[in-house]
Amino acid sequence: MILEAAKSYTFTVEGTPRPWKVWARGRAPREAGHDYLVTYQQLIAATARNYWIEHGLRIIEGPISLKFRFYRPIALSAHKRQGTSMKWVARHLILRPDVTNYQKAAEDALQGIAYRSDSQVVAVTSFKLFAKCEQGYTQIEIRPWTWKGGDT
């Protein structure tokens, strides 16, 4: 048996991507970033829910692959000082947060809407990029996979 890709579903979430972080309950007050993360995840969930409803889709039960493109806004200071040069972008692209933390935030937000559990994810491709506009956004592609062939 082999896995075969089905049609993919792609949508865009407007708003600056926010990374997933760990907060220990009862140990320390949450950082301000936690509220931004929750808002970002709610935005992903609402956008995915609307997309699923508009297209008459049901929650995916089998294996899936995900592709994320996280577009962060370029800092206003970069526009003034360096004209958004490729040099600035290259230097700042490799700074924190890690692309995997953006990915985890998005995967968690999609659970229960597009798919039951992130354990269904069999492949992921993620990119951390800079937007050409002042607003950040996230492009998400979800592709179900089906088993084809004989029994194993």
Q: What is the pLDDT of residues 66-89, one digit of tens each?
A: 999 999 987 666 555 555 566 666
pLDDT attached to residue 146 = 80
Q: Give the Å distances, CA to CA, from 68 to 44, 76, 117, 123, 139.
A: 12, 25, 17, 11, 6
- Dihedral sign, CA of 80, 101, 50, 39? negative
**Token pair recorded at residue 128:** 């951390």
Contacts for 115 with CB less than 8 Å, ≥ 6 apart: 59, 60, 61, 64, 121, 142
150 pLDDT exceeds 70? no
CATH number at residue 70: 3.30.1330.70
pLDDT attached to residue 27 = 55
pLDDT attached to residue 107 = 96
99-133 pLDDT tens trace = 999 999 999 999 999 999 999 999 999 999 988 87
pLDDT attached to residue 36 = 87
With beta carbons less than 8 A apart as the criterion, state whether 10 and 139 touch.
yes
d(CA 40, CA 44): 6
Confidence label for 137 from pLDDT (cuts 50, 70 and 90): very high
Confidence label for 22 from pLDDT (cuts 50, 70 and 90): low
- Domain count for the chain, please give it: 1
Residue 103, number of CB atoms within 10 A of its CB: 23
Query: What's the predicted TM-score (pTM) here?
Result: 0.82
pLDDT attached to residue 108 = 95
Q: Give the Å distances, CA to CA, from 52 to 31, 59, 64, 92.
A: 32, 8, 15, 35
32-58 pLDDT tens trace = 667 888 999 999 999 999 999 999 999
How far does Cα 66 stand from its chain's mean position? 9
> What's the rounded mean pLDDT across residues 15-35?
71
- What 3-state class would DSSP assign to 14? strand
Q: Which residue range(s) make up the domain with 93?
A: 2-148
